[in-house]
Structure 1
Amino acid sequence: MADPEVQRIVQAVSESRKYRSVAPRLIAHLAELEVSKSRRFREAVKEVKNRLHQTVGAYVEETPDYDVWLARLQAADTPDARRAVCLDLLGAHASSHERLNILPTFYETLLGDLPPIRSVIDVACGLNPLAIPWMPLAKDAHYVAIDALDDLAIFLEEALPLFGVSSRALSDDVTLTAPIGTFDVALIIKAIPCLQQIDRSTGSRLLKDLDAACIVVSYPVRSLGGNDKGMRDAYAASFMNLIGAFDWRIERFDFADELAFRVFKTPRVPEA
């Protein structure tokens, strides 16, 4: 049976308008961490909300009207019209907004030379699945999107079939367990810094446990305020530290507005 104090914290946080759509499993995880520190109730609720702001709340200024978004996508009756709507919607999320200038080349560069991509897992996805029109996927591709927000998952579950893929969208706490399944590509797009606000081991564990032929990991290179604080070098060093213990093949891609890596879980080829 769940700890009554954990349940009390979960209820208090869930009643907040800003966090009522967060997956209960994630709120419970954070509540358990605070209870383990013997925090008082009000202090624990405040700390859980702070952690949620760092991981999900800071990237969207206000809760989207997903019904309106879905209606706009459904009304877009040509690929170009649908792309135009997607660009507008992607701009509503701070993380995906930063990628708009490089979107035409971002996924083509990272995915275009891979074998046919028939399955994708998008971890802590945010609005990233709305970039499917720019991804070079096989016609029969299956796309799984996982995020911490229930309402976002419901929206994506209805929206993704409009892009010609079979799909599944769900809300969950990926800091507890890695998604199960075998995939051609796993996307962890600018998510590791946020996830590690909850658990510092999340990045290395996801990389280790995800079963994908290619894992694409990316990082921001500027703060939410647009400042360059040496983030590119810092995150590059952080990523190499995450994978340092594994004998994997790593490829680095430097975009103007993002740093990305491809991970292939095959041994590095020794230099001649």
Structure 2
Amino acid sequence: MSRKFDLETLITAVSEGARYRGLHPGLVRRVSAQELAKGRGFKDTVKAVRSKLHQVGGAYQEDGLDFPRWSLEMDELAHDRQDEALRSFCRRVMASHVSTRERLPLLDAFFPTVLEGIGPLHSVCDLACGLNPLAAAWMPLAPDARYTACDIYTGLVDFLNAFFAHIDLTGEASLCDLVDGPPAAPVQAAFVLKTLPCLEQLDRDISLKLLQSLNAEHVIVSFPAQSLGGHGKGMRENYSARFEALIAGQNWQVRRFEFSTEVVYRLSR
């Protein structure tokens, strides 16, 4: 006989998994409610919720993200973001997250290229940021720059706030569920890096709504050019075709940039 259960029981069961304890509670509740409504058995529903959360962000979050240890290590380093030891630390930490690890070979050229002609940046909003804020030293930021970042993992958000304080960068990281909308504050540039395919696991129609709702002069959007396993599979062409059809007719000036592991669009109002 199938087990009867309610939403709170489901959320508790999902959150017992080590990979799901530090997730944005509102996101866990949203996905749990959606899967509960499908009327499957308890074990199948827990599995479905965890699978969806994995697709949204867990696939990029590998084991071994030791934020407390990294914070202690960072405390021993210089505060100057151009210091070689600090930059080496940032590279090593970014290598622990799939999305930023893929960008490391491109790091010296990536931000100067996609931000050419619009820097120095006085305000940035980094959506579903992962460890990308650790690349601040490679970005053309103004001395008075404010860096706002958001993600769905509590431990990551806490670490990023410690990082901002350490390098004396005015910034704030917070938990956010982008299905509810992005931060409202106006910014010079918003980063939406390899994020839209993940968000579409929650809402198939979210991409254009999110881009239109951003209060940003420039929006940097990117897509992976290969799978997590390193295979191309026509991803570059498929993502490009879909995105270009999506933004056709919108009032943006569009520039496209090609990198070995990433396709980038800059949308300017």
TM-score of the superposed pair, with normalisation by structure 1: 0.92
Structure 1 residue runs of 4+, over 3 Å off?
none
Amino acid in structure 1 at the alignment position of 2:149: A
8 Å contact from structure 1 (residues 95, 190) kept in 2 = yes
Verify: 1:85 aligned to 2:86, yes or no. Answer: no
Q: For residues 249 and 11 of structure 2, what CA distance do their matches in structure 1 show?
A: 37
Amino acid in structure 1 at the alignment position of 2:33: E
Amino acid in structure 1 at the alignment position of 2:170: S
8 Å contact from structure 1 (residues 98, 257) kept in 2 = yes
Verify: 1:250 aligned to 2:254, yes or no. Answer: yes
8 Å contact from structure 1 (residues 133, 163) kept in 2 = no
Q: For residues 241 and 130 of structure 2, what CA distance do their matches in structure 1 show?
A: 25
Partner of 1:74: 75
Partner of 2:133: 129
Q: For residues 222 and 33 of structure 1, what CA distance do their matches in structure 2 show?
A: 30
Structure 1 range deviating more: 92-101 or 5-14: 5-14
8 Å contact from structure 1 (residues 250, 264) kept in 2 = yes
Residue by residue over 1:96-150, the C-alpha shift from the partner in whole angstroms, topping out at 9 and shown as x without a partner, is 1100110000001112320431111100001111111101011111111100101
Secondary structure (helix, strand or coil) at the match of 2:92 reads helix
Secondary structure (helix, strand or coil) at the match of 1:145 reads strand
Verify: 1:169 aligned to 2:173, yes or no. Answer: yes
Verify: 1:35 aligned to 2:36, yes or no. Answer: yes
Q: For residues 129 and 248 of structure 2, what CA distance do their matches in structure 1 show?
A: 25
Structure 1 range deviating more: 102-111 or 60-69: 60-69
Partner of 2:245: 241
Secondary structure (helix, strand or coil) at the match of 2:113 reads helix
Q: For residues 101 and 119 of structure 2, what CA distance do their matches in structure 1 show?
A: 28
Amino acid in structure 2 at the alignment position of 1:259: V
Partner of 1:62: 63
Q: For residues 131 and 147 of structure 1, what CA distance do their matches in structure 2 show?
A: 16
Q: For residues 10 and 203 of structure 1, what CA distance do their matches in structure 2 show?
A: 27
What is the Cα deviation at residue 38 of structure 1? 2.8
What is the Cα deviation at residue 40 of structure 1? 3.1
Find 1:102's aligned residue among 101, 106, 123: 106
What is the Cα deviation at residue 63 of structure 1? 4.2
Unaligned segments of structure 1, at least 5 residues: 266-272
Partner of 1:263: 267
What is the Cα deviation at residue 245 of structure 1? 4.3
Secondary structure (helix, strand or coil) at the match of 1:99 reads helix
What is the Cα deviation at residue 169 of structure 1? 0.7
Partner of 1:269: none
8 Å contact from structure 2 (residues 22, 155) kept in 1 = yes
Q: For residues 29 and 60 of structure 1, what CA distance do their matches in structure 2 show?
A: 20
Q: For residues 108 and 88 of structure 2, what CA distance do their matches in structure 1 show?
A: 13
Q: For residues 32 and 249 of structure 2, what CA distance do their matches in structure 1 show?
A: 31
Instruction: Count residues in correspondence.
Output: 262
Amino acid in structure 1 at the alignment position of 2:243: F
What is the Cα deviation at residue 60 of structure 1? 2.7
Amino acid in structure 2 at the alignment position of 1:81: A
Q: For residues 42 and 22 of structure 2, what CA distance do their matches in structure 1 show?
A: 21
Verify: 1:182 aligned to 2:209, yes or no. Answer: no
8 Å contact from structure 1 (residues 132, 163) kept in 2 = no
Secondary structure (helix, strand or coil) at the match of 2:149 reads strand
